[in-house]
């Protein structure tokens, strides 16, 4: 089993580190040619969603990744990755991959609380550390989306079929249960 980590911008190295701690092999997806390599699941890391969306389009990776996700490939998306998946971005007409029927609010915690750390219950896993960095939250989710975690009544983790998306950054904490649950579900 091999995981493809989108490596055009952002915190991809941290995800690779967690995968290697779990003994899972991964490849970096940096250009369209990398998408021909064998991988069974995708990680979309945090970073800057506008930049990532542009790089995906400019490098001709966009359509392939979108159809892989639509075709059922398991995907773990964190922070900017969640924004890339969202069907709607509040107050913005931009849609990136648009495979996840939610509305996200970018930079949702304002300037004061731009970054913070907490712990909260994640359905199916238990209490986990959550590091938020200029994070989005899910402002609205379609009924078929499974809400996995909320912090202060805001949705911060969802699952929709093969798509698992988080507002926070599990790759920055040393608790690997979220990545483990993700890889354990890959056939
Ligand atoms: N604020 C970033 C964005 O809108 C996301 C931040 C992150 O990934 N840590 O893309």
3-state class (DSSP) for residue 135: coil
Please say if the pLDDT value at position 113 is more than 90: no
Q: Residue 169 maps to which CATH number?
A: 3.40.50.880
Closest by CA to 175, choosing from 123, 131, 109, is 131
Instruction: Average the pLDDT over 148-153 and give the result.
Output: 97
Q: Model pTM greater than 0.90?
A: yes
Distance CA 136, CA 169 (A): 11
Total domains, the chain? 1
As a whole number, mean pLDDT of residues 95-106 equals 98
Evaluate: CB of 140 within 6 angstroms of ligand 1.
Answer: no
Name the 3-class secondary structure at 163. strand
> What is the model's pLDDT at position 110?
76
Can you give the residue range of the structural domain that contains 59?
Answer: 2-184
CB 129 within 8 Å of CB 151:
no
Give 46 Cα–ligand 1 centroid separation in angstroms: 6
34-43, 49-58, 99-108, 110-119: which has the minimum mean pLDDT?
A: 110-119
Q: Which residues contact 27 (CB under 8 A, 6 or more apart)?
A: 2, 3, 4, 5, 34, 37, 39
110: left (phi over 0), alpha (psi -120 to 50) or beta: left
Q: Express as a percent the part of the chain with pLDDT over 70.
A: 98
Q: What is the pLDDT of residue 114?
A: 80
Neighbouring CB atoms inside 10 A of 14's CB total 18
- The CA–CA distances, whole Å, from 131 to 95, 169, 170 equal 25, 5, 7
Check if 106 has its Cβ closer than 6 Å to any atom of ligand 1: yes
Is 26 known to be catalytic?
no
Is the CB of 80 inside a 6 Å radius of any atom of ligand 1? Answer: yes
Q: Which of 79, 88, 96, 179 is catalytic?
A: 79
Q: Is 83 in the pocket of ligand 1 (CB under 6 A)?
A: yes
Query: Is 28 one of the annotated active-site residues of the chain?
Result: no
Q: Which pLDDT score is estimated for 112?
A: 63
Quote the tokens at residue 27.
């490849």
Least confident of 22-36, 85-99, 101-115: 101-115
Q: Choose which residue among 49, 52, 104 to substitute to test ligand 1 binding: the one with the highest number of ligand atoms within 8 A of its C-beta.
A: 49
CB-ligand 1 contact for 45 (6 Å cutoff): no
Could you tell me the distance, in angstroms and rounded to a whole number, from the CA of residue 96 to the centre of ligand 1? 14
ipTM above 0.85, yes or no: yes
| Catalytic residue check, 88 | no
Per-residue pLDDT tens over the stretch 122-145: 999 999 999 999 999 999 999 999
Cβ 65 vs Cβ 173: under 8 Å:
no
- Over residues 96-120, mean pLDDT: 91
Average pLDDT over residues 148-170: 98
Average pLDDT estimate for 69-97: 98
pLDDT score recorded for residue 138? 98
């Amino acid at each position: 089993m091999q995981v493809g980590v989108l490596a055009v911008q952002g915190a991809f190295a941290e995800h690779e580190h967690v995968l290697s701690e779990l003994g899972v092999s991964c490849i970096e997806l940096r250009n369209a040619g990398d998408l021909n390599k064998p991988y069974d699941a995708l990680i979309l890391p945090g970073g800057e969603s506008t930049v990532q969306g542009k790089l995906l389009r400019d490098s001709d990776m966009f359509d392939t990744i979108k159809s892989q996700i639509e075709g059922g490939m398991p995907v773990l998306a964190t922070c900017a990755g969640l924004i890339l998946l969202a069907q709607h971005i509040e107050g913005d007409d931009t849609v990136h991959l648009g495979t996840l029927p939610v509305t996200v609010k970018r930079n949702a915690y304002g300037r004061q609380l731009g970054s913070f750390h907490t712990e909260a219950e994640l359905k199916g896993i238990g209490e986990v550390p959550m590091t938020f960095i200029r994070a989005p939250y899910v402002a609205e989710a379609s009924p078929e989306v499974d809400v996995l975690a909320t912090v202060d009544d805001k949705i911060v983790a969802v699952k929709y079929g093969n798509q698992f998306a988080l507002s926070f950054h599990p790759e920055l904490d040393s608790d690997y249960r979220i990545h483990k649950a993700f890889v354990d579900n890959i056939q």
